[in-house]
Every structure is written in structure tokens, then in C-alpha cells.
Amino acid sequence: MEFIDREREQRRLEEALSSDAPAFIVLYGRRRLGKSTLVRKVLNTKDVYFEASQSEAATQISMLSKAVAMVYEGFDGPIYPSWEEIILAFNHRCENNATLVLDEFPYMVSEDSSLPSTLQRIVDRRVIGGDGLRCNIVICGSSQRMMQSLIQGSEPLYGRADEEFCLMPIRLPHWSKAMAMEAKNIIEEYSVWGGVPQYWTQREKYGSFEEALNGLVLNEHGLLYNEPSRLFMDDASDIAPYSSIMTTIGSGRHRYSDIASTVGKSTADLSKPIKNLTEMAFIRKEVPFGESEKKTKKTLYYIDDPFMAFYYKFVEPYKSTIAMGRTNIVKRMLEQSFYDHVGGIWERICQIAVSGNDISGHTWKVAGRWWGKVPVYEEGKKTPVGYEDLEFDVVAEDQNDSDTILVGECKWTGADYADRLLDKLKKKVSMAPFVKGKKVVYALFLREQPLSAADCVILFPEDVIQQLPE
């Protein structure tokens, strides 16, 4: 697969590394996002790339000396007793403005906890010429929480980095350009592979989407069969709480109390792992449109990563069945429920497409969902006869006029009658408390061309992808 996206990150790296002053750069993000590929793409013949392993510090230092010797002959002759000595030796030997990349930096720190302080002393020597630092230093890591902690508040490396990169999954528009697929097909595949380059690279080895699912995920020997556990192990020694929380959310329990009850833990015990999962962008919090995140009691938690959402809905709960070779049972269930899964991803994609965008002559603020109970009245009566659950997929307020809002319905189904969908949406809106006294712009986000017209905004997969930020 060709190198997808990362133009902004590559440009920032190149500018930092080509500066006259030596740069200290921190790059991190979950595994398989292409951190190492990105870094190697900006290096040249005078630079050294070293990927640490889970071995003792002396072994790692020895391996680094050999990596440097591949560029600077004879560097591995001496024995270097510490990280400080080998890095300063490289700084003395290398060409001006050369770059030393220390990949999987958390492996190095786990064997020598003093390394951040050592690196602080070295980085603080940065001057142009003289006996100071002459080389650029780049540290990389897949342990998001450790890498973030190294550059926070009271830590030795706090405030030292010239550039900090948290590499995120590649956004949908780039996959739409790179893959020769129809818009609705790319959205369906994105609902499994998400924005992770390595997943798409593996998918390309198969002739069809179904073959890729069977070979990579629905197979106990598949490359991605145990992927979440590997990702969690980068950030925690005990991954059981993470796995339990994700499995519970994947099964449809989204309230904090329901998650705690299912996992068998108190809400206090779950506070830290849920916070960590949120910071790692594996889950997200949602509150109804118009409500304060701090004040509302309606907070829900959803899996925010497409692959993780797919995995914890279709794979993790059925691992015993898959291990017995009865994958046909799982495949039948997948056939019945896959469009429901895609529908959830589609809603999120549509919200992002509306947020900050110009649609129907308005620029909209950040879009979200709304849900809640509304009273139901009989004609002529002031007392409600009951309550009805309402939910809206996309709601956004006009950026310049708070009295104008967009309300949208998302459908990932076969062709339907747009006028009928609009009538149902208008009926729901008439009961919603947040629309009183406001002008409403109605929108339908549809997988297929409708069977009838409707007097509202209608967007299809190709339209939505074009509206997404790159």
C-alpha cells in the first residue's frame, strides 16, 4: 500500500529536523498507525534509527551501538556503560544536524527509569556549535499513556520538546481516495478497519471484504484476532478491566452504572480505566445535545474506534464458538446485524460531516445526538398520559443564529421513501423540547437513493465523505 496521508506531520517533522538548532521531538500513538514508517520517511543517510526491544538496558545500549555503526563505521568498538555516554558519543561523532531516533522508547524506560532524567540533561545542552548538542533526538512509543506522562507537569522532559505528535488514525476521506471502492462500500469497510493503515494493508491481501474478515478477524489464527489485547498491553499490566469494559459497552450497555453492574465493580473502581480508555480514544462520552457534560446525568459511553466497536460486538463475545470451529454461527449473526453496526458508525460520520461545515446555507456548530423522554398528551388534556422515548441522530445549532438548528435522521438501509422519512422526523421534532421557538433545517442521510423526493436536505455517502475534514 502507498503511503497514505500524513502530509502535515511529515512537513512538520522535516521543518523541525532541518532547522539550524537541534530539535527534540516526541512522537506517539497506538500501534500500527505508521509512526515508524513516518519517521523513516524523513531520515537521510547521516541519520540513525533504533528500535528498542524488551531486553535489559545493557543489551539495548549494545544494539544501539551496532545500529549507529551501520552509519558511522567503528562506533560499536567501545563499550558504552550508560545511555548518557552512548548518546553523547553519537553527538560527538555524527554529522551536524544528524538525527537519532529512539523508537519504542517506553521499552527503554522500563529497564532504566532514570533515562528521562538523563535525556533531560542531554537535551538541555542544546546550543549551536561548541560542546553542546549538535544532533536532533526523536523519541517514539506505542504506549500512549507512558509517552504522555513523560512530557507532563513534574516529569523531567516536560517543556523540552520542540514538537509533540500524537498520531491519530487516518480519516475516512483519505481511504476513499486511496481505495478503488464505491462510497457506500468504503464506509462499510471503514466500519471494520477504521483508520489504521496496517489493517488496510492486511485487508488488501485478500480478494474480497468477506475473505478478509474470515482470514484476519473471524479466525483464531488471524492476525487481528487478539489485536485489542495487544493494544491494551502497551498501556497496562492488567488489561482485564479494559477488556471487561469494552465487552460490556459492545454488548449494548452504555450507562456508567450499567457498565459497573455488569463488570461487577463499583463505579469508583471503574473511574480510572474508563478515563484511560477515553484518553486513548478507544471510547467516548456522549451527552444529549444542549446539555452540560458536567451537570447532566444522561452521560453514555460508546466505543469510538470502528475496529474495536466491530470486535467487541462480533468477535469477543463469540470467541469460544470461533475456537470450536463453528464460525458459521458467527457469520450468520454477522449477516443479520452488520448493517446495524455500520449504521452506528454512519451516524458518527454524519455528525462529523455536519460539525463546522456549511450545509443548506448555514454554518453549523459541533453536531451530536439528542435522546430523552417526552410527555405524551391526549387532545384537550393538560396532564400527560405517558412518556415516549425520542432520539435524534444529528442535531446542530447554527453558528451565527442560535434560533436555527439542523435535525437529521441517518439510515443505513435499502431504498426508502424520503417523504415518509421526513414526515416521521417532523412528527418527532414537534415533540422535542429543544426545538421550541426555533427554525428547523431538516436533513436525511441515506445509504441509497430514495424512492420519492422530499423537501429537505438529502445527503448520500459520497456527499458526506466530501463534507468530512481531511
pLDDT digits (tens, 9 = 90+) for 359-417: 999 999 999 999 999 988 887 787 888 899 999 999 999 999 999 999 999 999 999 99
The pLDDT score that the predictor gives to residue 129 is 47
H helices of 151-291, in order, are 172-178, 183-193, 197-203, 209-216, 227-233, 240-250, 256-263, 267-279
Examine the pLDDT at 350 and tell me if it is beyond 90: yes
The pLDDT score that the predictor gives to residue 131 is 63
Cell numbers given for 455: 423537501
Cell numbers given for 80: 558504552
The CATH architecture annotation of domain 7-166 reads 3-Layer(aba) Sandwich (3.40)
The pLDDT score that the predictor gives to residue 367 is 97
Cell numbers given for 90: 553519537
Q: Is 63 exposed, middle or buried (0-12, 13-18, 19+ CB in 10 A)?
A: middle
The pLDDT score that the predictor gives to residue 127 is 55
Fold of 173-347: Arc Repressor Mutant, subunit A (1.10.10)
The pLDDT score that the predictor gives to residue 125 is 81
**Is domain 350-467 in CATH 3.40.1350, yes or no?**
yes
CA distance 333 to 329: 6
Per the DSSP assignment, residues forming a β-bridge with 303 are 283
Residue 309 contacts residue 250 (beta carbons within 8 Å): yes
DSSP state of 169: P
- Domain residue spans of the chain: 7-166, 173-347, 350-467
The pLDDT score that the predictor gives to residue 375 is 87
14 C-beta neighbours (distance < 10 Å), count: 12
The pLDDT score that the predictor gives to residue 6 is 87
CA distance 201 to 196: 9
H helices of 234-362, in order, are 240-250, 256-263, 267-279, 306-314, 319-323, 327-354
Please state the rounded mean pLDDT for residues 319-343: 92
Q: For residue range 144-191, what is the model confidence (pLDDT) as tens digits?
A: 888 888 888 888 998 899 999 899 999 999 999 989 899 999 999 999
